[in-house]
């Protein structure tokens, strides 16, 4: 009986972390001379609580941040850091090219298609959500985005 209880409580703590799931995660492989890249995915919150993500980190690079692309009055695209991302209970948030993205700066080594990196998202309660994100060529990553749009 005691064993069963331990199993159940372990299961519960896994569940807490599994409230966030990623759909179509991808990080772009860049030419070796480029040390920055970006990761994209749709994140879904299956829990009953809203989750506010406040930081992102990866062992693959010196620094990573939430970023947003925006168009200035003059029609110039620029990107800036976003300090938090709200994923409402039962809803999704999409990181996609031309919109919100995970900016990854100062790669330790070039990323190769077929590999993966680990991203750790953290919320305002300091709960960490680790995810594996596959590395893809820019073309493969874009194709994935098109497929995502057709089935919506
Ligand atoms: Cu950026």
pLDDT digits (tens, 9 = 90+) for 79-126: 999 999 999 999 999 999 889 999 999 999 999 999 999 999 999 999
Report yes or no on 7 lying in a domain: no
Q: How far is the CA of 13 from the centre of ligand 1 (A)?
A: 33
- Quote the CA–CA distance of 86 and 11 in Å, as a whole number: 26
Q: How far is the CA of 57 from the centre of ligand 1 (A)?
A: 14
Asked whether the beta carbons of 127 and 120 are under 8 A apart, the reply is no
Report yes or no on 32 lying in a domain: yes
Residues 6+ apart with CB under 8 A from 57: 64, 119, 120, 122
pLDDT tier at 13, thresholds 50, 70, 90: very low
CATH number of the domain that 87 lies in? Answer: 2.60.40.1890
Q: How far is the CA of 27 from the centre of ligand 1 (A)?
A: 13
pLDDT in tens, 31-57: 999 999 999 999 999 999 999 999 999
Cα 111 to its chain centre, rounded Å, is: 16
Report yes or no on 120 lying in a domain: yes
Report yes or no on 90 lying in a domain: yes
> Would you tell me how many other CB atoms lie within 10 Å of the CB of residue 30?
18
Report yes or no on 13 lying in a domain: no
Report yes or no on 40 lying in a domain: yes
Q: How far is the CA of 20 from the centre of ligand 1 (A)?
A: 23
Q: How far is the CA of 3 from the centre of ligand 1 (A)?
A: 48
Report yes or no on 14 lying in a domain: no
Q: How far is the CA of 17 from the centre of ligand 1 (A)?
A: 27
Q: How many domains does the chain have?
A: 1
State the residue range of the domain holding 44.
21-150
Report yes or no on 11 lying in a domain: no
Asked whether the beta carbons of 109 and 32 are under 8 A apart, the reply is no
Total residues belonging to the chain: 152
Taking alpha carbons only, the member of 114, 133, 137 closest to residue 56 is: 133
């Amino acid at each position: 009986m005691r064993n069963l209880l331990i199993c159940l409580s372990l299961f519960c703590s896994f569940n807490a972390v599994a409230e966030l799931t990623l759909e179509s995660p991808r990080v772009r492989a860049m030419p070796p001379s480029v040390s920055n890249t970006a990761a994209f995915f749709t994140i879904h919150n299956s829990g009953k609580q809203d989750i506010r993500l406040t930081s992102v980190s990866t062992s693959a690079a010196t620094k990573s941040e939430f970023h947003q692309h925006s168009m200035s009055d003059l029609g110039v695209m620029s990107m800036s850091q976003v300090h938090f991302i709200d994923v409402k209970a039962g809803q999704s948030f999409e990181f996609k090219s031309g919109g919100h993205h995970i900016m990854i700066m100062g790669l330790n080594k070039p990323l190769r298609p077929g590999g993966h990196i680990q991203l750790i998202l953290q919320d305002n309660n300091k709960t960490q959500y680790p995810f594996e994100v596959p590395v893809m060529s820019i073309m493969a990553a874009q194709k994935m985005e098109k497929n995502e749009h057709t089935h919506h």
